[in-house]
A and B are shown apart, each in its own frame.
Chain A
């Protein structure tokens, strides 16, 4: 009985943290922070899938959802920041 209630507490905690992380990810104005939160969300989601007895989905979520999508987002952000930097420099040259 004791063990069940501890597991239930854990599940509720994971569920609530997932909702909170999702909200933080979507409402974050800083894109780098949003990506890091997204990766954290993916890893916790994988844990939730394990708790739901779906280890296959958990594996896919951890590798593709958190790992590769996160890496893709980070590389896109690096490209984005490089291109806005270039644009800013061009604007500065035009203005002077």
Chain B
């Protein structure tokens, strides 16, 4: 691999700039340190409230309860942000496929062994999120890691799946989340409020869909282009002649 260096940093800025920046940074660090030191040592926070109501949330892991029930709006928006990021990457036209004819046999062997384990582990993280550390984002990231391994081995998504099917899975998490959130609005509840007796199942359903969407989105971000666009038709962005 060729070494790429940041040319912009090779010229040192003037003493005045460095001094000014140094003073500003020192002031920032000092105010941050002051803020941290003046924090109350015995903060009440909302953890008592969370612990008190965790039985109503449908899960016993307080983190999952916060992410998928009390503050599920944040998680919903996170899914939206991830999807938007992918749209952004795709709309740039994508990079030309990195055709490497050489596939490392060790990597090939290892990923045949590891990808099923990753998928299994992703399912485990999703399931365990209800009562122990885990959850949709972690499970999705492990799923995406399986995808990255496959892409490193020149694996390609079959063309018949790269159109509608791929897009369906990509938006599934967000659509299901919004649909369930709005569904109960018609049953005299507020947006994203679940009835306590159904909450556990609903959270698992949303998390399962979100895991799929997150995993496929992150893997697609690694690929860096829309797989339904022909990879050999190089899109010239016009940046270089």
Contact = CB atoms under 8 A, between A and B. Distances in A.
Chain A facing B: main interface SS: helix
B135 A56 contact: yes
Contacts of A75: 222, 224
Contact of A90 (B63, B137, B222, B241): B241
B138 A60 contact: yes
Nearest to A33: B3
Contacts of A67: 141, 145
Contacts of B148: 68, 71
B61 to A, nearest CB: 8
Interface string A57-75: 0111001100110011001
B240 A86 contact: yes
Interface in B1-47: 1-6, 9-10
Interface residues of B, number: 28
A86 B222 CA distance: 22
A79 interface: yes
Interface in A21-74: 29-32, 55-56, 58-60, 63-64, 67-68, 71-72
Give the interface size class of chain A. 20 to 34
A76 to B, nearest CB: 8
Contacts of A5: none
Interface string B219-233: 001101000000000
Interface of A: 29-32, 55-56, 58-60, 63-64, 67-68, 71-72, 75, 77-87, 90
